Structure 1
Amino acid sequence: MITALGEILIDYTAKGKSEAGMDLFEQNAGGAPANVLACLAKLGIPTAFIGKIGDDMQGKFLYKTLEDAGINVSGLIVDKNYFTTLAFVSLSETGERNFSFARKPGADIMLNKEELNSDILAKTKIFHFGSLSLTHEPSREATYVAIKFAKKNGAIISYDPNYRALLWESKEIAKEQMRLPLQYVDVLKISDEECELLTDEKDIYKACEHLLKKGIKIVVITLGKDGALVGYKNDMKKIKGFASNKVVDTTGAGDSFWGGFLYSLYNKDNLSELSIDILSRDATFANAVASLCIENFGAIKAMPTLEQVNRRLRGEL
């Protein structure tokens, strides 16, 4: 099983104009950890989510969305004291995003350590988290308790910082808090734009080398349409991306990529006995997943099936 902890929220994505000329927003389930799990579940991997939603119409929608996606929700807490976190997403003509958040506080950052489902954490093979649960207490403490418990029970620890400037008090605080979990991480995914935040290096190769030297077993730096850079031990290799037929919405791009990459890692027994060539093939698979996801609106509902991914890899789709 692969378990993720962190934010689950509503993405209200801009979807045209009303007859009165006002912006219309489409309700989509979102939150990076949940998106990753949705991708994995669509590809056939057993998954579980740990997080918190409000006891409101938005929370009920999210709960049902995860259930419908086949994700185990026994670790999802419903809390009547806080509202479900909301994000408003505007899209450019090329599908690029701008965000605004309603989260002061939202339910996702109110998860506390006593609410963690230890049965799920003890059974998970891969534990995945991001940095948005680290922006505030009590979810920050809960995240570290979960990481340490899962690692103690043999889980591979996966981390995607997923920087969102608006959710941090300052860039300096974000850099400090985003770097602290690296000591526990086995597998790391960052974007090229996050290299300097995590390493003080703008160059992707220097950033990758820096992270590998910190003891992280596998480092992947995503490069948008240009693919990804994979780092393992003393090797690095740049992998080409897949061209999408039409880019509609990039909201789930990075999450679908990471879902595809973790899918490939799931059946591997020992991260110390891999090779850069094997991981490069995994990144190629992940690029194919992402190229399909961004051809549809939303994130969770846009995740492709394994058959679709294999057809894209064969050049049939």
Structure 2
Amino acid sequence: MNTLSPLGPNTPRIALIGECMIELQQRADGSLQQSFGGDTLNTAVYLSRAMGDKAQVDYVTALGDDSFSDAMCRSWAAENIGLDLVQRLPGRLPGLYCIQTDAAGERRFLYWRNEAAVRDCFTTPAAAPILAALPDYDVLYFSGITLAVLGVKGREKLIETLIEARQRDARIVFDNNYRPRLWASVEEARAAYRSVLPHVDLALLTVDDEQALFHFEDCDAVFEAYAQIGTPEVVLKRGAEACLIRCDGEAFEVPAQKVEKVVDTTAAGDSFSAAYLASRLSGASPAQAAEAGHRLASRVIQVPGALIPRA
């Protein structure tokens, strides 16, 4: 069991594992605005912005050799995200998704990702040195979407990496992000989640996803389940309601910030997770970290798309 804060005087190395996709944002007039997004990539960007030169933030994924993949890498470099762990697979492409939002800002996603390069992220020959490098990082971050897109063989490699990383005192952070369409069945998803959860130090959970996947009756049941697993720090995100936290036997409830007009809830949870993690790694308490998470998420949901402008 590894604690989250702080990491000490040295610049921490943080690797986020997952998928970035081509994002199409549908406007009210039916036109489309193209950008890039994905849950762990969104978190990587906001984490890099929050930590600045106090941390090294690297992204772990696989892309194609196309112009969209080139543009992704340029945009990540502009956000000071390291590219050394990004594979470029000849003849492959990244996935694509479209965001449609209703009048209340709630979102609907349409996906094209079955042949995305990331599905072979941990199974290519070029993955071997990447997998060997990951246990030397201070923090490894991944999500339920990461689990889905890696597939069975990729998940096996991931678990081996998590075990070795924890033996070297790395912190493992997991955001549950359950997307039913990415799984053959709910049983497959449950088995995959249960295989990695014993290796997690900080669980950043969305209550709706936990109930959809594990059918928990209420928040207390969620916390009880993770207590039995032995997860030392659990954050339960509840949208516009207060988030709930259990950390080393203490309980916290931190109200969300009110927003007059919600434009787009895309990346609300991802940005919360980034600000929470950045705060904890900088020495903040769980309650202070949640306040930072709510502040950033409240700004993100007032702007269309996953990534708000730096300004």
TM bracket, shorter-chain basis: 0.7 to 0.9
The DSSP-based 3-state class of the residue aligned with 1:99 is strand
Contact 1:121 1:149 (C-alpha < 8 Å) held by counterparts: no
Shift of residue 74 of structure 1?
0.7
Corresponding residue number in structure 1 for 2:84: 74
Question: How high is the TM-score relative to the length of structure 1?
Answer: 0.85
Q: Which runs of 4+ in 1 moved over 3 A?
A: 197-200
Q: Distance in 2 between matches of 1:303 and 1:210?
A: 38
1:243 aligns with 2:243: no
Letter in 2 for 1:124: Y
Q: Distance in 2 between matches of 1:266 and 1:204?
A: 26
Percent sequence identity is 24
Letter in 2 for 1:179: R
Q: Distance in 1 between matches of 2:213 and 2:251?
A: 18
Shift of residue 227 of structure 1?
2.7
What does residue range 12-51 of structure 1 map to in structure 2 within 5 Å? Answer: 12-17=24-29, 23-43=30-50, 44=52, 45-51=55-61
Mind listing any 5+ residue stretches in structure 2 that lack a counterpart?
1-12
Letter in 1 for 2:266: T
Query: Which of 288, 292, 299 is matched with 2:295 structurally?
Result: 288
Query: Which of 91, 99, 102 is matched with 1:89 structurally?
Result: 99
Q: Distance in 1 between matches of 2:36 and 2:217?
A: 33
Decide whether aligned partners of structure 1 residues 62 and 149 sit closer, same or farther in structure 2, where only a CA change above 3 A counts. Answer: farther
Corresponding residue number in structure 1 for 2:193: 178
Q: Distance in 2 between matches of 1:304 and 1:239?
A: 26
Deviations 1:217-244 (A, max 9, x none): 1000101011311112333222100123
Contact 1:2 1:124 (C-alpha < 8 Å) held by counterparts: yes
Q: Distance in 2 between matches of 1:146 and 1:56?
A: 29
Structure 1 residues 231-240 or 194-203, which shifts more? 194-203
Q: Distance in 1 between matches of 2:99 and 2:263?
A: 13
Corresponding residue number in structure 1 for 2:305: 298
Size of the aligned set, in residue pairs, is 291
Shift of residue 46 of structure 1?
2.4
Shift of residue 280 of structure 1?
1.4
Letter in 2 for 1:70: N
Structure 1 residues 286-295 or 194-203, which shifts more? 194-203
Query: Which of 2, 7, 10 is matched with 2:22 structurally?
Result: 10
What does residue range 98-137 of structure 1 map to in structure 2 within 5 Å? Answer: 98-113=108-123, 114=125, 115=127, 117-118=130-131, 120-135=133-148, 136-137=151-152
Q: Distance in 1 between matches of 2:134 and 2:157?
A: 12
Shift of residue 99 of structure 1?
1.3
1:142 aligns with 2:142: no
Letter in 2 for 1:51: T
Letter in 2 for 1:167: L
Structure 1 residues 281-290 or 193-202, which shifts more? 193-202
Shift of residue 205 of structure 1?
1.9
Shift of residue 173 of structure 1?
1.6
Letter in 1 for 2:271: S
1:161 aligns with 2:171: no
Q: Distance in 2 between matches of 1:137 and 1:103?
A: 17
Q: Distance in 2 between matches of 1:118 and 1:168?
A: 24
Contact 1:100 1:166 (C-alpha < 8 Å) held by counterparts: no
Q: Distance in 2 between matches of 1:119 and 1:38?
A: 24
Corresponding residue number in structure 1 for 2:286: 279
Structure 1 residues 34-43 or 136-145, which shifts more? 136-145
**Superposition CA RMSD, Å:** 2.0
Q: Distance in 2 between matches of 1:234 and 1:213?
A: 12
Letter in 1 for 2:156: E
Q: Distance in 2 between matches of 1:94 and 1:112?
A: 39
Mind listing any 5+ residue stretches in structure 1 that lack a counterpart?
18-22, 269-273, 306-317
Shift of residue 98 of structure 1?
1.1
Question: How high is the TM-score relative to the length of structure 2?
Answer: 0.87
Shift of residue 200 of structure 1?
3.7
